[in-house]
């Protein structure tokens, strides 16, 4: 889609829709911010994780804690930075107490993720961990069987090289998995060097994401930091 500036503006418009979304009442009532995603709007490489955690919810940006720091280090190991990629999650809001995303929440939120894929047009999409891998593949097979095995797959409107890898948080809890992550990251430059997969035939224009209802602002939210989109 056009140049990087046009992509940024289009993504900002989708963010404005997502920022007031109330499709999941519990998430809308308990979040501080909608964590839409951040990075290069023209990225060839996109990472999709599970859901925002506490720090992400407070700052409005994905992967800002220890797992995000490790993600940055792994990218540096292959000559990339966070500014070169786009990072998002299957859910844009933090589940209370970091519980697992519910199936209906994933269903409600996938339109925003599919729109990100359509606008950014990544060549390679790395799913981080089980939830992202199962959602984007539409299959219950777990990450331990799939990690490091790329496949060409159509996800919503976009055909990409899907590359499931472990979530960086897994290596924080089990340090022996760090070598596995580094091994899988080392294959990314070769995957990015391949031509983009052929895209599906265009279809009739699909209905736009419905305008969400705006949440009433509670008085005790006055000190909450504003969400940050962080597009480059």
E strands along 135-202, which residues? 151-155, 158-165
Ordered by where they begin, the domains of the chain are 4-197 (3.40.470.10)
Instruction: Indicate the pTM of the whole model.
Output: 0.86
Q: For residue range 52-61, list pLDDT tens digits in order.
A: 999 999 999 9
| Contact assessment for residue 129 and residue 49, using Cβ atoms and an 8 Å cutoff | yes
Q: Is the pLDDT of residue 202 over 70?
A: yes
Locate tokens 């990225």: which residue?
43
Residue 100 per-residue DSSP state: P
Q: Report the 10 Å Cβ neighbour count for 70.
A: 19
Spatial separation of the C-alpha atoms in residues 127 and 147, rounded to whole Å:
9
Backbone angles phi, psi at 135, to 5 degrees: -65, -50
Q: For residue range 110-166, list pLDDT tens digits in order.
A: 999 999 999 999 999 999 999 899 989 999 999 999 999 999 999 989 999 999 999
12 — pLDDT class (breaks 50, 70, 90):
very high
The mean pLDDT of the chain is 88
With a CB cutoff of 8 Å and minimum separation 6, the contacts of 8 are 41, 231
Q: Is the pLDDT of residue 216 over 60?
A: no
Q: What is the pLDDT of residue 229?
A: 65
Q: What is the pLDDT of residue 232?
A: 60
Report the candidate in 147, 137, 136 with the shortest Cα–Cα distance to residue 177. 147
- Percent of the chain exceeding pLDDT 90 equals 78
Q: What is the pLDDT of residue 211?
A: 52
Backbone angles phi, psi at 43, to 5 degrees: -70, 140
Mean pLDDT over 26-41 rounds to 96
CB environment 8-40: b (16+ within 10 A), e (fewer):
bebbeebbebbbebebbeebbeebbbbbbbbbb
| Cα torsion through 215, 64, 84, 137, rounded to 10 | -70
Q: For residue range 80-100, list pLDDT tens digits in order.
A: 999 999 999 999 999 999 999
Q: Is the pLDDT of residue 27 over 60?
A: yes
């Amino acid at each position: 889609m056009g140049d990087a500036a046009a992509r940024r503006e289009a993504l900002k418009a989708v963010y404005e829709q997502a920022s007031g979304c109330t499709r999941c009442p519990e998430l809308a009532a308990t979040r501080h911010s909608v964590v839409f995603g951040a990075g290069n709007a023209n990225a060839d490489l996109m990472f999709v994780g599970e859901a925002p955690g506490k720090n992400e919810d407070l700052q409005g940006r994905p992967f800002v804690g220890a797992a995000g720091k490790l993600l940055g280090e792994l990218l540096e190991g292959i000559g990339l930075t966070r500014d070169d990629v786009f990072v998002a999650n299957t859910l844009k809001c933090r589940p209370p107490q970091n519980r697992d995303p519910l199936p209906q929440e994933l269903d409600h939120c996938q339109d925003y993720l599919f729109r990100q894929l359509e606008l950014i047009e990544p060549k390679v999409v790395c799913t981080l961990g089980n939830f992202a891998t199962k959602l984007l593949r539409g299959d219950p097979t777990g990450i331990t069987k799939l990690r490091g095995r790329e496949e060409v797959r159509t996800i919503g409107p976009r055909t990409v090289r899907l590359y499931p890898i472990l979530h960086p948080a897994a290596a924080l809890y089990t340090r022996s998995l760090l070598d596995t992550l580094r091994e899988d990251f080392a294959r990314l430059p070769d995957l990015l060097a391949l031509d983009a997969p052929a895209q599906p035939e265009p279809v009739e224009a699909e209905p736009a994401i419905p305008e969400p209802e705006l949440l009433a602002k509670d008085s005790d939210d006055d000190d909450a930091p504003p969400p940050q989109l962080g597009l480059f």
